[in-house]
Amino acid sequence: MAHSLIREQAALMSKLHSGQVTIWVTVNTKTGEESHRLQVEYPPEESLESLASRVRPLILSGEPIYYAKALDALEQLVGTEVLNEEIDLAWWHDYWRAVIDANLAAQAYWVATPSGTTTDRKLMYAWLYGDVIHAQSPRSPVIRDLSVDQRYYAAAPGIARICDRVIYTHIMLKGLIDKGVLTVDPEVLSEAVVVTTTSVDEEVTVRVSDVGVPVPDDLTTIGPDALDPAVWRTPHQDIAALRGGDTD
């Protein structure tokens, strides 16, 4: 996975995945009073939004690459008997469902408010579909009691666990390909899927014309050399004409 959070902040994502937090306990040795502090680090929300958008198609049942559809397609492509010799497909279904099913028990914690209780799972989806994608107010009174910060704090570990599934599913598929059990178009493994160049400097051909002149429908077929030079001029020719023929 090429995303910067996985590539550059693996340690942080690993802590989120495991639910690791720091609890500081301070004791007054004279009075016996205790105070406690919770410390957790999260990535910038914008970075996690970007990561979540990449894995979202795998957890949305309407998408063609929804995890269950992908696993079912794998079984059809390879064949049940052959695939069963390599992997436990039922385990993979459960492995994914364990992190994306919003109705299961809490993954790490649940939250109580005067309106009731909710789980970190439901808070993750409230952030993903309410705060990030649709900008909809949560319908649950419990979730409405909580801030966007609290929804985000639940979402970050959940997204980290989904990414764990993505990484290990990729390893599993690559293993099947390497063994010759699964055959895919080689371009699937090499085709670029992320933008790596954010500045452009390349040779092009430019032609200009008067305002209102229609662009030929077959321009991609005939090429710029076939354009009428009396109508379509180079930028230098156009500037020279505006200057009254001075080409210096």
Check if the beta carbon of residue 151 is closer than 8 Å to that of residue 131.
yes
What is the CB-side half-sphere exposure of residue 34 using CA atoms within 13 A? 5
Mean pLDDT, consecutive 10-residue segments, the chain of 248 residues? 83 94 96 96 95 94 95 96 96 97 94 96 94 82 94 96 95 96 90 88 92 83 81 92 70
Confidence (pLDDT) at 219: 72
Q: What is the Cα–Cα distance from 62 to 60, expressed in whole angstroms?
A: 6
Residue type, 68: A
Confidence (pLDDT) at 248: 56
225-241 in b/e form (b: 16+ CB < 10 A) is eebeeeebbeeeebeee
Query: In angstroms, what CA-CA distances link 84 with 40, 66, 78, 87, 91?
Result: 41, 21, 10, 5, 11
Residue position matching structure tokens 């910060």:
149
Confidence (pLDDT) at 247: 52
Check if the beta carbon of residue 203 is closer than 8 Å to that of residue 227.
no
